A and B are shown apart, each in its own frame.
Chain A
Amino acid sequence: MERKEWPLWEVFIRNRNGLDHKHCGSVHAPDARLALQAARDVYTRRQEGVSIWVVQADHIVASDPDAKPEMFDPAEDKIYRHPTFYKLPDDVDHM
């Protein structure tokens, strides 16, 4: 028998004091409306949040873990990209 699984949805929650939605897990649900309710029931039982985003996992485009060397390693030795690299004149008090 063919077994149809519900799509997977990634869940992002913003807590009471937070400004950003943080990824906290995933749920299976047949559609967006029920995904939001499932996320509420699974992930906000202990007052974890005041706002929820769900997005169908298929719709997330992710970087390839195997491409990590060429994607991220080149940034390693570019310390001049950090503001702390630059020495400020003494006249500039607080930056």
Chain B
Amino acid sequence: MSSPHFQYTLRLADNALILGQRLSEWCGHAPVLEEDLALANMALDLIGQARLLYARAGHLEAAGRDEDQLAFLRPESEYRNVTLVELPNGDFGRTVVRNFLFSAFQLELWQALMTSQDLELAAIAEKSLKESRYHLRHNADWVVRLGDGTEESHARTQAALDYLWPYTAELFTPDPIDNEVEAAGITVAWSSLEAAWEEAVTPTLQQATLAVPARTAFRSQGKLGRHSEHMGYLLADLQYLQRAYPGAQW
């Protein structure tokens, strides 16, 4: 039995950890040195957010699990990140589009969480807000340059948006955990952020001359623990060291 408050916090932490893991895959592989560092910086920001959120989640759970145990020693079905963040990086364009869509969501989320009754969550939100604001700016600038760039960069960026867009619906799909946390007055349900998020991302996509895909009935379910086929491989990388050498530190 775990409380909705714990589950909600775990979702925040897992989102940050899994995207941080994906972005760290770019380390040493980005198209230019400058972006290599930009992506690694963003990955480290996200992993830092995850650490704080796991520590808070572990405290809420009160079962003695610390941030490492939560991050490294759960089976796949217990991870509660949205599917969007676990999808493979694809090319640089897809990476940038995902970062843009997700950091716009995080920005709305942190703003809302700053007034949370959970003062620790509010403090984490206040710190993370600055990081997400920079992530959004940097990635939005890239979306515009790639979308409104050459014929090839436009085609690739549009393809990335078409691929990723259906997965953004999950962010705003209402569910019991969200609703209970909101009803208890702890913080906002993600579903309440949809309008603000759309308003935030649309002008950049228009400036980038990208066509916003229509919503379909497709709903990914990562936040319920039902992940894509890519998640297991990601976790194998992520968890290998702690599984092979339990408690290892360096």
**CB within 8 Å of B: which residues of A?**
6, 27-31, 33-34, 37-38, 41-42, 45
Q: A28-B33, A30-B145, A37-B38 are in contact. List 9 more A-B contacts (CB 8 A).
A: A28-B32, A34-B141, A34-B142, A34-B145, A37-B137, A38-B38, A41-B38, A42-B33, A45-B41
| Complex contacts, A45 vs chain B, CB 8 Å | 37, 41
Closest A residue to B40 by CB, please name it.
A41
Q: Is the beta-carbon distance between A29 and B141 smaller than 8 angstroms?
A: no
Closest B residue to A34 by CB, please name it.
B141
| Complex contacts, B32 vs chain A, CB 8 Å | 6, 28
Give the shortest distance, in Å, between B40 (CB) and chain A (any CB): 9
Q: Is the beta-carbon distance between B141 and A41 smaller than 8 angstroms?
A: no
Q: Is B237 an interface residue (CB 8 A)?
A: no
Q: Is the beta-carbon distance between B145 and A41 smaller than 8 angstroms?
A: no
Q: Is B152 an interface residue (CB 8 A)?
A: no
Q: Is B229 an interface residue (CB 8 A)?
A: no
For the complex of A and B, the 10 pairs showing the least CB-CB separation, nearest first, are A38-B34, A41-B38, A41-B37, A27-B34, A42-B37, A37-B138, A41-B41, A42-B34, A33-B141, A34-B141
A6 to B34, CA, bound (A): 11
Residues of chain B from 59 to 74 with CB closer than 8 A to chain A in the complex: none
Give the shortest distance, in Å, between B235 (CB) and chain A (any CB): 28
